[in-house]
Structure 1
Amino acid sequence: MNVLHINQSDTGGGAGIAAYRLHQGLLNQGIDSKLLVGIRQTDDPRVARVPRRNYPLTGLLKNMTDAMGLNYVSHLATWKIPSHKFYQEADILNFHNLHSGYFNYLFLPHLTRNKPAIYALHDMWSFTGHCAYSFDCNRWQVGCGQCPYPDTYPTIKRDNTELEWKLKKWVYKQANLTIVTPSHWLASQVKLSILEKYPTYCIPHGIDINIYIPLDQLECRRCLRIEQYQYILVTSALNLQDPRKGTDLLIKAINALSDALKRDILILVMGDGGKNLKTQLDCDVLPLGYINLDQLKVMVFSAADLFIFPTRGDIFGLVAQEAMACGTPTVAFNVGGVPDLVRPGITGELAEPENPQDLARKIEQLLVGSEARCKMSQNCREIAVKEYNLTLQAQRYIDLYQQVLADFRG
C-alpha cells in the first residue's frame, strides 16, 4: 500500500510533528509512506515540496482574494499535484493541515476524483469560515458571517466568512473524503459541521514510547543544574500575542500561588515567550528556547513535577501527550480535546475555563499532594503505553486505509 500525506510541513508545528510521526509509524509497519509539504525541514527522501508555479497574474489574483478575505484560493499550482510522482504512485491520500498558504482547497474534488482520501483534522479550519479555532463562537454550525474573531489565525482583511463557508461546503459535496480526528471532542464538532455527511473516526495521535520515557527526576535536575528547587513546573510556547495560548491566564495563576510556594518553584519554558515571562512572574523562570531534540525534551519533562497547559483552545494537546509519556501529570483548563489526555484525578487536573485562580488551586493541590502526584505519574505512563503507542496509531490507520480502499474499488 502506498500512502501520500499532504501537509503544511514535515516537522514544523504540531500538525507537522503529528503527521511526520504517523509517517514514521507507517514505515515501521511496512507501508510505503511519502509526504508532499509546503515547507520541507528534513532531508528525508520520502518528503518533497508541493508543486509551486507562478502563473500569469498569480500575484494580482492573490492580492484580490486576500483583500476579499478569501485565503488560499489563489494557489493555482495545486492543480499540478496529480502530475507529481508521489501522487501518481499513491493508492490513497492522507490530507492533514490544508491551510497556511501552500494549498488551494478548491481543488479537493479534482485530487480525490481517482483516489480516495483521509482528511486528518488538526484544528477546526476545515469547517469554519476562516478560523482554526472558533473559541466561544458557533456560527460555523449555521453558515458563519459576522465573524467575531477576524484577527484570529488565519487572519482576514474582510469578513467574507459566509462565502468561504459556502465554498467549503460546495467542495465537500464533490470530494471523496473520510474524516479522522485525534480527539472525541473534535469528532463531536465535525458531526455538527458541513463535514457531517462523511464517515468520521477518532484515532489519537501516536508517540514513540521507546523515546518518550520517564527518566530519573533527580538525575535530570542535576543535568539541568536545577536541583536546588523543590518544585519544577514546565510549560511551552507562550506567545503573548496569541490569546489561544493562555499566557495571560498562566501569569495570573502562578502569581496567585502562595508566596511560600512561589519561593520554591522554578518554571521551565520550552519554545517562545520565556524571556518575556521572567519579568511578569513572582517566581524563578528558566527559558529553554525551542527544543527540537526529543531526548532533551524527555529530560525536561522528567525533571518536572507538573506540565502546565494554559491553552484556551486545543483539539488534543501534543505536548501534553509528550509529558504524559514521560510520566509527568498535566494541569490545564477544561477546553476542547484536552480532557482526552488530562483526566482529573488520573493523569492530572482540569481547571474551570478562564479561571486562573482555579488553575492555581489545582497546581498547588498537586504540588503539595506528592502521593497523589506520584500515582498520577504512574497512570500517565501506563495510559500512554496502552492508548497512544505509535504502533497502535499506525495500525489503526492501516486498517482504515484498507477499509476505504476496499469501498472505493467496489
Structure 2
Amino acid sequence: MHVLHINQSDIFGGAAIAGYRLHQGLLQQGIDSRLLVGRVKTQSDRVAQAPRESWLDQKLKRVTEKAGLNYIAQLSTFKVQQHPFYQAAEVLNFHNLHTSYFNYLAVPALVRHKPAVLTLHDMWSMTGHCAYSYGCDRWKIGCGQCPDLHSYPSVRRDSTRWEWKLKNWVYQHTELSIVAPSQWLVNVAKTSLLNQFPIHYIPYGIDTETYQPEDRSRARAALRIESDRKVLLFVSQTLEDTRKGGDLLLKAIQDLPESLKSEVLLLTMGESQIAQDTFGIKTLNLGYVSEDRTKVTAFSAADLFVFPTRADNLPLVLQESLACGTPMVSFRVGGVPDLVRPGVTGYLAEPEDAADLSRGMVQLLENDELRDRMRQNCREVAVQEYEIGLQAQRYLMLYQQLVQAKNSLRKHDQ
C-alpha cells in the first residue's frame, strides 16, 4: 500500500503533527507512507516540498486576495501530478489544505485516477473562509454576509458565498471519503456541504509508549518545582490568541481563593514569555517546547492541565495530557468532551464561563483522591481508545476498501 499525505507541514502546527503521527503509525504497520507538504521541517526521504508558487501565482494572488478569495491562485498545485510521490501513490490523504500552499480547485484533477481521503482538522473545508465558525451557522446555507471576516484565515472582503460555492463545485466533481477525528466534527460534517460523501469517525492516535506518566517527584525535580506545590499546566503560543482563551484563564485564576493562590504554580509552555505578575500567582515559563520528552516531564509534573479553548476539534495537547495521566479542566466546546469526561478524566465547564472553569480547578485541586482516580482513568482511556496503532489500522482498512473499489471499477470499465 502506497499512501501520499498532502498537508500544510510535516510537523509545524497541530494539523501537521496529527498528520505526521498518522504517517509514523502507518510506517509501523509496514505501509509505504509519504508526505508532500507546504513547509518542511524534518529531514527525510519520505517528506517533500509541495510545488512552490511561481511569479505568475504571486501576481494572481494579489488579485484574488483583494477579491476576498484565498488559495485559488496557486496554479503550481496542478504540478503535483508530476511529482514522483503522487505518481507512486495508490491512495491520497488530504489534510489541512489552507495556509497558502495549495489550491483546492486542483482536487478534482488529483483524485480523477486515485481514491482519496480528506481528513478534517477544523471546519475550513465546509465554510466560506473560516476554520471555526464559533456561533455562526451560515456555513449550513452557503455563507455570505459573514459576521467576522477577521476570523482565521481572514479575508479582505466578503466573498464568503463565492468561496462556499467554489468548494461545493469541487466536491460535486470529486469522489472523497471524509474522516473526522471527533464526534463533534462528524456531526458538523453531516450537516454541511460534505454530507454528500461517506463520513468516518477515526480519532487521532498518540504514541502511548512515548507519552506515558513519569514519576512526579522526578519530573518536578527536573523542572525545579517544589514538591508541595499545586501545579497548573497551560499551553498556548501567546495569550493574545483568543481562540485558546488566555483571557478566560486569567479571569479563572483571579477567581481562585486567595488561600489556594498561594499554593499554586502556573507552569506554561509557549513562545511568549508570561510575566510573573500577569496572573498574580507564581509562574514558571518553559518557552516553546517541541521535544516529546520535555512535554512528558511537564505533564507529569502537573496536578491539572487547564485548557480554556473557545473552539477546537480533538486537541492534541489534551491527548498528550490524557496519555501522561494528567486530569484536565476545559470547556464543553467542539471535540473537547471526547477527551475531558466529567468525573472520569477531568472537569468540563460551560463555554465562556471563567467562573465555572475556576470552580473546576478548585474542585480537583482540593480533592487528592479524585485526582488520583482520574490519573488512572486518563491513562486507561488513552491506551484503550487513542493508541497510535488503532488509528493506523482504521485508516488502513479505509484505504484498502477505497483501493479495492477503485480497482473493481476499472475492471468493470474494461
Shorter-chain TM-score range: over 0.9
Q: Which residue of 2 aligns with 1:386?
A: 384
Aligned runs of 1:57-76 on 2, under 5 Å? 57-76=56-75
- SS of the aligned residue for 1:8 comes to strand
Deviation at 1:176, TM superposition (A): 1.6
Deviation at 1:118, TM superposition (A): 0.5
- SS of the aligned residue for 2:117 comes to strand
Deviation at 1:223, TM superposition (A): 1.1
Deviation at 1:53, TM superposition (A): 4.4
Percent of matched pairs sharing the same residue? 55
Deviations 1:196-235 (A, max 9, x none): 0100111110011110010111111011100254200101
Q: Which residue of 1 aligns with 2:146?
A: 147
- SS of the aligned residue for 1:155 comes to coil
Q: Quick check: 1:126 aligned with 2:102?
A: no
Q: Which residue of 1 aligns with 2:283?
A: 285
Task: Pick from 342, 350, 353 the counterpart of residue 351 of structure 2.
Answer: 353
How many Å separate the matches in 2 of 1:126 and 1:75?
Answer: 17
Deviation at 1:375, TM superposition (A): 0.3
Counterpart AA for 2:138: R
For the aligned residue pairs, the C-alpha RMSD in angstroms reads: 1.0
Aligned runs of 1:155-304 on 2, under 5 Å? 155-276=154-275, 278-304=276-302
Q: Residues 92 and 405 of structure 1 are in contact (CA less than 8 Å); yes or no, is this contact kept in structure 2?
A: yes
Aligned runs of 1:313-352 on 2, under 5 Å? 313-352=311-350
Counterpart AA for 2:342: P
How many Å separate the matches in 2 of 1:246 and 1:53?
Answer: 35
- Corresponding residue pairs, total: 408
How many Å separate the matches in 1 of 2:94 and 2:69?
Answer: 21
How many Å separate the matches in 2 of 1:404 and 1:239?
Answer: 41
Q: Residues 229 and 265 of structure 1 are in contact (CA less than 8 Å); yes or no, is this contact kept in structure 2?
A: no
How many Å separate the matches in 2 of 1:293 and 1:77?
Answer: 34
Q: Residues 229 and 266 of structure 1 are in contact (CA less than 8 Å); yes or no, is this contact kept in structure 2?
A: no
- SS of the aligned residue for 1:233 comes to strand
| Gap runs ≥5 in structure 2 | 409-414
- SS of the aligned residue for 1:292 comes to coil
- Structure 1 length as normaliser, TM-score? 0.98
Counterpart AA for 2:112: R
Cα 1:355/1:53, change in 2 over 3 Å: closer
Counterpart AA for 2:278: Q
How many Å separate the matches in 2 of 1:195 and 1:111?
Answer: 18
Q: Which residue of 1 aligns with 2:47?
A: 47
Counterpart AA for 1:182: P
Deviation at 1:255, TM superposition (A): 0.9
Counterpart AA for 2:378: C
Q: Which residue of 2 aligns with 1:32?
A: 32
Deviation at 1:238, TM superposition (A): 4.8
How many Å separate the matches in 2 of 1:370 and 1:218?
Answer: 16
Deviations 1:354-381 (A, max 9, x none): 1000000000000001101110000000
- SS of the aligned residue for 1:285 comes to strand
Q: Residues 236 and 272 of structure 1 are in contact (CA less than 8 Å); yes or no, is this contact kept in structure 2?
A: no
How many Å separate the matches in 2 of 1:181 and 1:370?
Answer: 36
How many Å separate the matches in 1 of 2:402 and 2:254?
Answer: 51
Q: Which residue of 2 aligns with 1:116?
A: 115
Deviation at 1:243, TM superposition (A): 1.4
- Structure 2 length as normaliser, TM-score? 0.97
Q: Residues 327 and 381 of structure 1 are in contact (CA less than 8 Å); yes or no, is this contact kept in structure 2?
A: yes
How many Å separate the matches in 1 of 2:359 and 2:170?
Answer: 47
Deviation at 1:239, TM superposition (A): 2.4
Ranges of 4+ aligned residues in structure 1 off by more than 3 Å: none
